[in-house]
Amino acid sequence: MAQENADYTADVVIVGAGVAGLLVAWKLAAAGVDVLVLESGPRVNRAEALQNYRSAVAKIPSSPYPSVPYAPRPSVIALEDYYVQVGPDLFKSNYERRVGGTTWHWLGTTLRHLPNDFHINTLYGAGVDWPISYDELEPWYGEAEKAMGVAGDSGEDLGSPRSTPFPLPPLPLTYLDKVLKSALEPIGMRVKLTPQARNSVTYDGRPPCCGNATCVPICPVAAKYDASVHARKAEALGARIVDKAVVHFVEVDTQGRVSGVRFKRPDGSEERATGRIFVIAANAIETPKILLMSRTDALPNGVANSSDAVGRYLMDHPIQLSWALSNEPLFPYRSPLENAGIEQFRDGDFRGERSALRIAVGEDGWSFPGTPPTVLATEVLGEGIRGEALVDELNDRASRQFRFAALIEQMPLAENRVTPAWDQVDAIGIPRPQIDYRLGEFTERGLAEARRLLDRIFDAVGVSFRKHGEEFFGAGHLIGTYRMGDDPASSVVDPQQRSHDHPNLFLLGAGVFPTSGTANPTLTLAALALWAAETIRRDLQAM
Amino acid sequence: MADERVNDRQVTEERQEEATPVSRRAFLRGLAASAAATVATACAPQGEPARPLAAPYNTATPARVLASPQAPATGTPEADSGPPPAGSIPLEQFLMLSTVLTGIPNLDPVVGNVYLQSLQASDEFDVTLADLFQQAGLSSEAPPATIAALEERGIFAGEATKTLADKIIEVWYTGVYTTAEGEPAVATFVDALAWKALHFTKPNSICGSPGFWEKRPEVYGLRS
C-alpha cells in the first residue's frame, strides 16, 4: 500500500491540469483554499514546443507535444496506437496530457451554447435535456470569457443572449471572410465573426494575435489563451501543481466519501494524495477510465457509477471537411485558422430528425485536408512546372485555396462508450482506453446536409475545383461520458457537477454535457468549472 | 539588441523595395535579404507584445530556424577525413546547381549541406550529382544561368537527370530531406522555398502583424 505523504495532502485535490481543473485551482487558491493539482503529463516549454512543430514532418495537432511513455495520448494519424478501437466507426479526436491540457493545441473558438441546446428533448423530442438552463449558466459564461480573454463583436446576434459585453474588442474579419460574406448574402447565408479566446489587443499580459496562423497546434506568442495562463496564476496564489503524476485509482471509504487518489510516477512507483474534496477533470476519455478502473468489491462498477452511465454517451462534433479552389484569390494563410462561421443551422425544428450543425470558415488554405504550400510545391513540380512558373503557380493556387469544416451535433448513444482495456496496458501498466463508437443516423444525416449546404456555398462563391472529404474528421471535442442530470439512476453528476454517489467528488469537463450542441465545448466547460469552483468553496465552508 | 537594430534597417529597406507590385527581381532581392537576416524579430517573447512587421511579406525570418538541422551522421564534406565518395560534388557546386534549378540565389549553405549529404547518400538515383553537374554544363566556361538553359541541355528530357534535378528542387521547396535511415526529416520549415515564394503572406509560425489579414495584400505577384 502506498505511503501517505504530507506533500500530497490538501483541502482540494484536483486530477487533471487542463482548463477546467486549472480554472478551479485558480479560483479556489484566490479564495485561500489549499489546492493540489495532479497532472499525468509534463509541463510545456513554449519555445521547445514551437521547435517541435517546425521540425515535424507531419504538422498535426500533437506535433509540438511528443507522447511520453507514462502518459501516452492518441494522435490523429495513429488512432489505434493508444485507443483500443472497437468500432464500428473510428473515434477520431485526440487530446494532450500536459500541464495546460489540450488548450495547448486547441483552436480557441469560444461560442456559447444556444438557449435551446439545453432543452432539445422537450423542444424537438431528440436527445435529452440538460438539468440547467442557459439563463442559469449565462453569468458564468461571462466570467469564463473574462478569464480566458475572449474577443468578439458584442453587437452581433449569435443567438446566445449576453448580459455583459465581450471583454476584448473583435478581431477583424479576414479578406477571405469578407469575400465569402458578400458572395453568400444573396443566397441567405450569413458569415459572422467567431468569438475567440485570442487577444485582439494586449490583455492579461499577453500580446495581440499577429497572424502566425498556427493556432492549432501552437500559438508562438501566446496571443491565444491556453490554460498555462491559469497554471501560473494558481501557482502564484499558492496552489501546488505536481506534473508526471498519473492518477489511476480513486479510493472511497465506507461512508461513500472519496478518501484519496493513488497515482503512479514515470518510474512506476506509487503515491497517494488525500484531501477533503476531490475534483477529477481529466477529460471525457481519461476521467471515466479512472473511475471505471477504481472498482472494488464494494463498488464493482467503479466509482461514481451506480447509474452505469460512466463512460457512456461519448460524443464529438464529427466534421464534414470540404475544400475548393475559388475562381478569385482569397489570400489564406494569414490569420487565426478559423475566424468566421455560418451559424444559422445550429437550431430549428429539423433537430427532431437530424443533427444541427455549424459551418466554420477555414483560413488555413488546404492545410487541414493535407495540402499546405510545401505539399502543393511537390504537386506542382510533379506536373513538370519549374522555375518562375513554379513560383507563379504556387502563388496562384495557394491564394485560391479555401475550406470549410461543418461541425455536426452528435446524439448521446449509450453504446458509444469508453472502458479500460484491462488486457492492453501502457508502459506503466495502466489500461489503455477502449472505445466503442458509431456516428449514428442523426449525425449521418447532418453530414449529408452539410455537403448539400457546402455545394450551395461553392456555387455561390465560384470555384474551379471542389472536394467533399469522403471520411468524417474528428473535431477534437471529447464530450459526454459522465453526464449531468437530476436523476441519479440515469446520470453521473448532479447539476452542480457533484457525483450523485459521493458527496465530496466533483467531475468537471465536457464529460458532464448531456448533449453536444454545436458550440465548441471549451467555453461551456470553462463556465461550468467556474460555477463548480463556487460550489466547492461553499461546500468547504459548510464542512 | 544591436543585431535587432540592424535587422530593423533591413526590414525597412525591404519595405521600401516592395512597396509596389513585386517583380521577380524584387522577390529574389527579398529572399536574399531575409536569408541574410540573423535575428528572429517576428515572434516576441512570451509575455511581451509582439513587434509587428508592417507588411506580411517581409518575413525577416531567422536564417536558421531549426537550431540544429538534422544533418546525417557523415557530417560536412570538410569534416570528413577520407576522400569524397565517387560521384559527389563539393557544397559550392551543389549550391551553384541548386541556384540554377530553383532560380533562387543566395541559398542557405547550412541547409544546403544537409540536402547535399542526404542526396549523396541516397541510392534511389541513376545518376550522380557529379554527372548532373557535368551534364548541366555547370563546369563549362559559360555555365547556364536559368532553368530554360537547363531544359535546352536536355536535363529534363532524360528520366535519370530529371528525377535527380526535380528532387533537388523539391528538397529546397519543401525543406524536407531523407535521413540516412531512409526517414523524411525537416531541415527547415520557415525557410522552405514553398513559403518564401508566396508573395501574399509569410511562413506559418512567423508573425505578420495584428489584423493584417483584413485587407487584400497590396503585393501579391499573381499572374496578371
- pLDDT tens digits, one per residue of A209-220: 999 999 999 999
**A390/B197 CB distance under 8 A:** yes
Average of per-residue pLDDT across A361-372: 97
| pLDDT single digits (tens) A36-78 | 999 999 999 999 999 999 999 999 999 999 999 999 999 999 9
Query: Is the CB of residue B133 less than 8 Å from the CB of residue B93?
Result: yes
The reported pLDDT for the residue numbered A6 is: 64
Confidence check: pLDDT of B33 > 60: no
Residue B57 reports pLDDT greater than 60 = no
Chain B nearest-CA distance from A390, in A, is: 9
B174 Cβ under 8 Å from any chain A Cβ: yes
> Sign of torsion, CA A284 A285 A287 A288?
positive
Confidence of residue B2 (pLDDT cuts 50, 70, 90): very low
Contacts of residue A44, defined as CB under 8 A and 6 or more positions apart, other chains included, come to A64, A65, A98, A99, A100, A104, A228
Contact of B148 with chain A, judged by CB distance below 8 Å, is answered with yes
Count contacts between A and B (CB, < 8 Å): 179
Q: Average pLDDT for residues B47-65, to the nearest whole number?
A: 35
**CB distance A502 to A257 below 8 Å:** yes
Share of chain B above pLDDT 90, in %: 57
> For residue A5, is pLDDT > 90?
no
B12: pLDDT strictly greater than 70: no
pLDDT of residue B92: 96
pLDDT of res. B79:
46
List the 332-371 stretch of A: residues with Cβ below 8 A of B: 332-335, 339, 363, 367
One-letter amino acid of A14 = I
Measured CA to CA, the distance from residue A284 to residue A318 in angstroms comes to: 16
Q: Does A386 touch chain B (CB under 8 A)?
A: yes
Secondary structure in 3-state letters for A486-498: CCCCCCCECCCCE
Looking at residue A308, its pLDDT comes to 98
Give CA–CA dist B100/A515, Å, rounded: 59
Give the tens place of pLDDT for each residue, B150-195.
999 999 999 999 999 999 999 999 999 999 999 999 999 999 999 9
Rg (CA), chain B: 19
Q: How far is CA A462 from CA A251, A281, A330, A368, in A?
A: 61, 46, 12, 21
The pLDDT score that the predictor gives to residue B86 is 78
Helical segments of chain B, H only: 2-17, 24-36, 91-102, 109-121, 129-135, 147-152, 159-174, 193-196
- Best probe of the B interface among A228, A391, A402, by most B CBs < 10 A, is A391
- Band of pLDDT at residue B34, cut at 50, 70 and 90: very low
Residue B218 has pLDDT above 60, yes or no: yes
pLDDT at B81 over 90: no
A206 interface with B at CB cutoff 8 Å: yes
On chain B, the residues whose CB falls within 8 A of the CB of A208 are 49-50, 210
The model's pLDDT over B103-123, given as tens digits with 9 standing for 90+, comes to: 998 999 999 999 999 999 999
Question: With an 8 Å Cβ cutoff, are B200 and A223 in contact?
Answer: no
Q: Select from B27, B56, B194 the Cβ nearest to the Cβ of A374.
A: B194
User: Which value does ipTM take for this structure?
Assistant: 0.94
How far B141 CA lies from chain A's nearest CA (Å)?
23
Q: What is the pLDDT of chain A when averaged over all its residues? A: 97
Distance to chain A for B82, nearest Cα, Å: 31
> Which amino acids of A are annotated catalytic?
477
Which residue among B43, B56, B221 sits closest to A395, beta carbon to beta carbon? B221
| Other Cβ atoms closer than 10 A to A131 | 18
Which residue has cell 522555398?
A: B193
CA-based nearest residue to B60, from B38, B79, B82: B38
pLDDT category at B87 given cuts 50, 70, 90 is: confident
Regarding beta strands A270-280 and A9-15, do their DSSP bridges make them parallel or antiparallel, or are they unpaired? Answer: parallel
With CB atoms and an 8 Å threshold, state whether A171 touches B211.
yes
d(CA B209, CA B42): 9
Residue A351: what pLDDT? 98
> Is the Cβ of A139 closer than 8 Å to some Cβ of chain B?
no
Kindly indicate the confidence band of residue B85, based on its pLDDT and cuts at 50, 70 and 90: confident
Which residues does chain A have within 8 Å of residue B49's beta carbon, measured at their own beta carbons?
Answer: 202, 207-208
The pLDDT of residue B82 is 61
Nearest to B213 by CA among A519, A361, A375: A361
Choosing among B204, B209, B223, which should be mutated to test the A contact, i.e. which has the most A CBs within 10 A?
Answer: B204
Per residue in A459-517, pLDDT tens? 999 999 999 999 999 999 999 999 999 999 999 999 999 999 999 999 999 999 999 99
**DSSP-assigned letters across all residues of A430-448:** PEEEEEEE---HHHHHHHH
pLDDT above 90 covers a percentage of chain A that reads: 99
In angstroms, the separation between the Cα of residue A399 and the nearest Cα of chain B is 8
Does B222 contact chain A (CB < 8 Å)? yes
Query: Chain A contact for B200, CB < 8 A?
Result: yes
Distance, in Å, from the CA atom of A368 to the CA atom of A337, rounded to the nearest integer, reads 10
Q: Kindly report the nearest CA distance between residue A170 and chain B, in angstroms.
A: 10
How far, in Å, CA of A345 to CA of A453, rounded? 10
For the cut 90, the answer to whether the pLDDT of residue A542 exceeds it is yes
Whole-Å CA distances, B172 to A175, A409, B168: 30, 43, 7
pLDDT beyond 50 at A84: yes
Outline where A185-282 has alpha helix (H): 228-236
Mean pLDDT of B64-90: 55
Interface test with A, best of B22, B213, B223 (most A CBs within 10 A): B213
Per the CB < 8 A criterion, the answer to whether B214 and A175 are in contact is yes
Q: Give contacts of A 38-97 with B, CB under 8 A.
A: 46, 50-51, 53-57
Answer whether A220 touches B (CB < 8 Å).
Answer: yes
The 10s digit of each residue's pLDDT in A123-166 is 999 999 999 999 999 999 999 999 999 999 999 999 999 999 99
